[in-house]
Amino acid sequence: MSQAIHTIQLAGTDQSFSCAENDTLLRAALRSGIAFPYECNVGSCGNCKFELLEGVMASCWPEAPGLSDKDRARNRGLGCQSRPTGPLQIKLRTSDKYAPQFPPVRTAAKFISSRVITHDLSEFSFQTELPLPFLCGQYALIQMAGIEGPRAYSMSNVGMFNGETQAGNLIEFQVRRVPDGKGSAHLFDHLKPGDHVEIDGPYGMAYLRENIERDVLCIAGGSGLAPMVSIARGAFLSPQMTQRKLHFFYGARALQDVCGLAMLETLPHWSERGTYQAVVSGASETDNLPSDFMRGFAHDAVAQTFGERLQQMEIYFAGPALMGQSLLKTLIDLKVPMDQVHFDQFY
Ligand SMILES: Cc1cc2nc3c(=O)[nH]c(=O)nc-3n(C[C@H](O)[C@H](O)[C@H](O)COP(=O)(O)OP(=O)(O)OC[C@H]3O[C@@H](n4cnc5c(N)ncnc54)[C@H](O)[C@@H]3O)c2cc1C
Ligand code: FES
């Protein structure tokens, strides 16, 4: 059934965009090339807040944690959760850094297959009906039948490169099974090859910067493997990056969680340009870890390994919020310029 489409006017500017009733303000704005600030796209971070000045809207998730009671009382909404029910006028401060390189596309996608990576992490491959160009490190939203709200997952394969699609319409995610998680359980337990989902993307600002003449450091923790693998794959494919080294740190809780190296070792010239370091935080002194593994947390391991040399690196990271906060603090303490640090927090 076709949906009513409404005009959304940005107050105090000559900018407006169209938004269907079954779309959200944030995603429709990005589809029109409007630089609407955001991060998680799933109602948690609060970066997509705006103020409603005129008109009536609805919320996909009224209890979303990204909006406080004070915000609600002030007529504020979350761009990623708000749907128009008529024309709107909103107050929003756009920021050029959010302008999409590829406008997000909403498309049906067929589940092809899954592959086990560790005891709780698997790779899921989909074929999208429409082309969905993306940059290494970006994420997409998967809407699954019977699950309230979409889930954000980062692509692990390489999308657009040198102006060409590398993957055809193939899109791959690496997902961790979350205890009692509805979306991840659906992927692991219910989805059968041939089943369809809706995929909407790409989103995210933590994409590979190919034209920067610095060595690359990727730090992945737990479920943050996919975007870092995608960045590494892109960095080894890019003709602009052949002189760049890439260091990959994987932070795991236990030995059984360690992964990633097998995917990296297959990259051309990995042994000359790449290094991999596993860091295990939950191992006891008596646990037998391979001698080249480090013990402790990823943020301490990178500080210990590189110290102030981090100031000369382009740094990407992905994983649990706690890891992200510790890493950011470490990088700030070591005076790493923040424009060299790229991440989208996982919620
Ligand atoms: C940018 C980003 C990238 C990510 N990339 C990955 C990745 O590559 N691999 C990976 O394993 N995980 C990734 N995640 C985490 C992933 O999106 C899920 O949060 C995780 O899989 C748990 O989902 P779940 O459905 O199993 O758990 P649940 O506890 O059922 O759901 C948690 C998630 O669903 C959303 N949610 C819950 N209820 C509603 C509702 N009523 N309406 C709308 N939304 C709702 C929440 O915001 C939260 O994100 C990423 C998250 C973000 C924000
Ligand atoms: S709450 Fe909307 S982008 Fe995070």
Query: Would the pLDDT of 143 be above 90?
Result: yes
* Ligand 1 contact, 226 CB (< 6 A): yes
Residues 311-327 pLDDT 10s: 999 999 999 989 999 99
pLDDT band at 259 (very low <50, low <70, confident <90, very high): very high
Q: Where are the CATH 3.40.50.80 domain residues in the chain?
A: 215-343
- Degrees (nearest 5) of the Cα angle 284, 285, 288? 85
5-98 to CATH, choices 3.40.50.300, 3.10.20.30, 3.30.360.10, 1.10.150.120: 3.10.20.30
CATH class of 105-203: mainly beta
The best mutation among 23, 25, 38, 68 to test binding of ligand 2, ranked by most ligand atoms within 8 Å of the C-beta, falls on 38
What is the Å distance from ligand 1's center to 140 Cα? 11
Residues 144-158 pLDDT 10s: 999 999 999 999 999
pLDDT band at 345 (very low <50, low <70, confident <90, very high): confident
Q: Where are the CATH 3.10.20.30 domain residues in the chain?
A: 5-98
The best mutation among 42, 63, 139, 344 to test binding of ligand 2, ranked by most ligand atoms within 8 Å of the C-beta, falls on 42
- What's the pLDDT score for residue 160? 73
Indicate which ligand has the atom closest to the C-alpha of 178.
Answer: 1
φ, ψ of residue 217 in degrees (nearest 5): -120, 125
Residues 72-84 pLDDT 10s: 999 999 999 999 9
> What single string gives the DSSP state of each residue in 234-245?
HHHH-GGGTT--
Residues 23-35 pLDDT 10s: 999 999 999 999 9
Atom 7 of ligand 1, residue of closest alpha carbon: 153
> What single string gives the DSSP state of each residue in 207-230?
---TT--SEEEEEEEGGGHHHHHH
CATH 3.40.50.80 for the 215-343 domain, yes or no: yes
Mean of pLDDT values over 259-282: 97
* Ligand 1 contact, 37 CB (< 6 A): no
Residues 87-116 pLDDT 10s: 999 999 999 999 999 999 999 999 999 999
- What's the pLDDT score for residue 182? 97
φ, ψ of residue 306 in degrees (nearest 5): -110, -25
- What's the pLDDT score for residue 1? 66
